[in-house]
Amino acid sequence: MEKIVLDGEFFNAKDTLNCGQLFRFFSAGVKKDAYFVNSLDKRCLLYNEGKNAVIECEEVDRAYFENYFDLSRDYGAIVSAAEKEGGILSVAARLGKGIRILNQDRTETLFSFIVSQNNNIPRIKGIIERLSAGAGQKREFYGEEYYAFPTAEELAAKPLEFFKEIGLGYRADYIKRLADNFDGTFDASEFSALNTNDLKKKLTSIYGVGPKVADCASLFGFHRSDSFPVDTWIEKVYKENFNGELHDRAKIADFFVDKFGENAGYFQQYLFYYKRSLEKQEL
């Protein structure tokens, strides 16, 4: 087993996991605020200890998780830029300075955020767990069983009824259709060559994927930081803290991308986490 020890000033496990960018993480129990984090078929253990952040994983997965947790990026510089903006953003950045934007698998991210639409985070986590347990491979980490996120092929093998049974509701049709039609080209180089706008056009052409889900896939799956997902929480921030007048969420997103440029995605996470933390005391 590998143990990766890092400076924890800009890497807080709890904040990184609870800001809504991923849904497959679990309290590990072994120590306070220690978590198992699943990505595709892999798992690691993540926690803060003193001034450090620690990742424990299989040796073969070391490079995968170094990239996953975006270890090569200077988050101190991003937090500083947010603090310079002043107002609510500097407050939010101080609260969320330990947040990192993960480099998640593109396919898992897209499927997951289709599940997320018009849904709440605890329920999204439950659905994705049932999806994995019902269609994914069983794996083991530190003697504990878990399930891999299903491949598109594994999802396509399931009947529509399965997706309804695990609680997807009307989203079952979206998941089923994407699984059936999935051509696996997400990782092709031509896909990476698209600019963010063209990428979003391609994503929104998928049935069940609108501007918000496309922005989440773009930000969390492709690390396009010039993406700014606008959901109900961000809309509240926009109206209450930026005195916004717009109602069209796509235009609100454009407003923030124009304003913050390549920092937009990071700042969005600070703002989302801040706003949601205010109302969800348990975070």
Could you list the active site residues?
212
Q: Binders of DNA: how many residues, by CB under 7 A?
A: 41
Least CB distance from residue 268 to DNA, whole Å?
A: 6
- Pick the closer one to DNA by CB: 57 or 237: 237
The residue range among 58-66, 183-191, 194-202, 203-211 that interacts with DNA, by the rule CB under 7 A, is 203-211
Q: What six digits make up the tokens of 13?
A: 């496990």
- Pick the closer one to DNA by CB: 121 or 188: 121
Least CB distance from residue 109 to DNA, whole Å?
A: 11
The DSSP code sequence of the chain is: -EEEEEE-TT--HHHHHTTSS---EEE-SSSTTEEEEEETTEEEEEEEETTEEEEEE-GGGHHHHHHHTTTTS-HHHHHHHHHHH-HHHHHHHHHTTT-------HHHHHHHHHHHTT--HHHHHHHHHHHHHHHSPEEEETTEEEEPPPPHHHHHTS-HHHHHHTT-TTHHHHHHHHHHH----TTSHHHHTS-HHHHHHHHHTSTT--HHHHHHIIIIIT--SS-----HHHHHHHHHHS------HHHHHHHHHHHHGGGHHHHHHHHHHHHHHHH-TT-
**Which residue in the set 187, 248, 258, 262 belongs to the binding site for DNA (CB under 7 A)?**
248
Site string for DNA, 214-233 (x = CB under 7 A): x-x------------xxxxx
- Told to check if 57 binds DNA by CB under 7 A, we report no
**Which residue in the set 152, 234, 257, 264 belongs to the binding site for DNA (CB under 7 A)?**
234
- Pick the closer one to DNA by CB: 243 or 281: 281
Least CB distance from residue 263 to DNA, whole Å?
A: 15
* Region 106-165 residues binding DNA, contact defined as CB under 7 A: 113, 116-124, 164
**Which residue in the set 12, 13, 15, 19 belongs to the binding site for DNA (CB under 7 A)?**
19
Q: Which residues bind DNA (CB under 7 A)?
A: 19-21, 113, 116-124, 164, 167, 169-170, 204, 206-214, 216, 229-234, 247-249, 268-269, 272, 276
